[in-house]
Amino acid sequence: MPEIRPVVVVRVHEVALKGRNRPWFMRVLRRNLAHALRGVPYQDLKLRSGRALITLNDVAEWSQVRERLSQVFGVANFSLTVEAGLPIEEIREAIGALLEAEGPPPGTFRVRAKRSNKDYPLISPEIERDLGAYIQQRTGAPVDLRRPDRTYRVEVLHDAAYVSSETIPGPGGLPVGVSGRVVVLMSGGFDSPVAVYRMMKRGCEVTLLHCHAYPFVRSTSIEKVVELAQHLGRHQPGMRLVIVPIGQAQRQIAIATEPEIRVVLYRRLMMRIAEAIAEREGAKAIVTGESLGQVSSQTLDNLRAIGAAVKLPILRPLIGFDKEEILAEAKRIGTEPISRVPDDDCCTVFVPRHPTTHATIEEAEAAEEPLDVKALVESSLAQRTEYRGDPAKWNVMDALAGAA
């Protein structure tokens, strides 16, 4: 019996592998896998034939690796495998080792073979027949090609073969980093963290931006956003968070403008701050957690008046979602318990109970006329706190000191 070498085979969707971007795509995935596996002991992580192979020192490492891989976008599925040499006898032995470790199939079984090594002397159906006969002879289990109770998978690469019995679905999506960077406007609420998750799943690196009115209101939203960023940082190497106090700017807006339009003006201020940060960060779009008609500030008219303050595209991944759908996703991705903590929304300071629901761009621009908008953006930005590096080391006190 050969020594069992446990190797986790990580697979990506075929479609993502097409074209000239493939090597780069795989390198980004490799970086993200290494990030997800930090602190977990494993022997080696390498790329082979459009897969990532993680060699473990011991099968005992598997449960931790399995848990971490479920956080890595771009992973279609993965399996714990036994590595074998290329000769069919060695692949048989590896199947034997797998049967010894896991026991016989729970009922019927089939073998599925796939060759990236097209020079291999046997074609896939021949490999399947050979190994199927071997398993049958060893265990007596019957073959069922249509609806087997267990499928053994064999992947023949150029320098080794890998056999496995369980395929675990990954989160799918694209590796974080292949789609470019966005700035996400992040409150402490339920929606924006879900918007962050959605954008990361489509391959975007995110810089989070939180605006707050501390010390005019409590600091809870800042604490929540730092915690949310730490939680979401599991998916992205190099998470970034920028915290900007806008209480002073809001006060100046409140002095110079009618109450009904202030929420729209606060949002336009946030958009401009986001655009300034996007420029510094090399981000190509601004993202919000807005969903149409959810609250009074999210009517089509107001979204238009708010969006007109900036030139960058504004992406709203949740625009067509119901609150229940967003909440269900927030629970699934683990941000709901953090978002649930009550906080003070900075957009409610100095505003009436019934703000306008149908602002026009002209009204917003006219209301801003007495204000030096550029100076408001710059003075707010000057007080920002930037968090980079390992989110586990981020300290809320830095942002509070910056705003005091």
Ligand X SMILES: Nc1ncnc2c1ncn2[C@@H]1O[C@H](COP(=O)(O)OP(=O)(O)OP(=O)(O)O)[C@@H](O)[C@H]1O
Binding residues: 185-186, 267, 289, 298
Binders of ligand X in range 178-197 (CB under 6 A):
185-187, 189-192
Choose among 235, 276, 333: nearest CA to 35.
Answer: 235
Give SS3 for 240: strand
Q: In this complex, which beta carbon is closest to ligand X, that of residue 178 or of residue 285? A: 285
Query: Residue 143: what are its φ and ψ, rounded to 5°?
Result: -85, 140
> Which residue number, 117 or 294, has a Cβ lying nearer to ligand X?
294
Tokens 């714990």, residue located: 80
Q: Which two tokens stand for residue 177?
A: 């980093």
Q: Binding residue for ligand X (CB under 6 A) from 257, 297, 302, 356?
A: 297
270 touches ligand X by CB under 6 A: yes
> What number of CA atoms fall less than 13 Å from residue 181's CA on the CB side?
20
Q: CB–CB of 152/131 below 8 Å?
A: yes
Among 211, 242, 285, 303, binds ligand X (CB under 6 A): 211
Find the part of the chain contacting ligand X (CB under 6 A) among 49-57, 170-178, 203-211, 360-368: 203-211
Please give the single-letter amino acid code of residue 82: V
Helix (H/G/I), strand (E/B), else coil: 206: strand
Residue that has been written with the tokens 């050979």 in this structure: 130
Do residues 150 and 106 touch, judged by C-beta distance below 8 A?
yes
- Residue 296 CB, nearest approach to ligand X (Å): 8
Q: Nearer Cβ to ligand X, position 230 or 335?
A: 335
Judged by DSSP in three states, 278 sits in helix
Point out the annotated binding site for ATP.
Answer: 185-186, 267, 289, 298
Helices (H), 15-174: 22-36, 62-69, 88-102, 124-139
Residues 345-364 that bind ligand X (CB under 6 A): 345-347
Q: Closest approach of Cβ 187 to ligand X, in Å?
A: 3
Separation of alpha carbons 206 and 91, rounded Å: 44
When the beta carbons of 143 and 349 are compared against ligand X, the nearer one is 349
SS3 113: strand
Using the rule CB under 6 A, give the single segment among 16-24, 91-99, 292-300, 307-315 that binds ligand X: 292-300
Query: What is the size of the binding site for ligand X (CB under 6 A)?
Result: 22
CB 7 within 8 A of CB 48: no
Q: How far is residue 85's CA from residue 63's CA, in Å, rounded to a whole number?
A: 25
Binding ligand X (rule: CB under 6 A), the pick from 108, 294, 360, 379 is: 294
Q: Does 290 bind ligand X (CB under 6 A)?
A: yes
Residues 2-41 that bind ligand X (CB under 6 A): none
Question: What string marks each residue from 49 to 78 as x (binds ligand X by CB under 6 A) or -?
Answer: ------------------------------
Residue 247 sits in the site that holds ligand X (CB under 6 A): no
Chain residue whose CB lies nearest ligand X: 189
Question: CB of residue 327 vs ligand X: minimum separation in angstroms?
Answer: 10
Nearest alpha-carbon partner for 333 in 192, 211, 226: 192
Where along the sequence are the contacts to ligand X (CB under 6 A)?
A: 185-187, 189-192, 209-212, 270, 288-290, 294-295, 297-298, 345-347
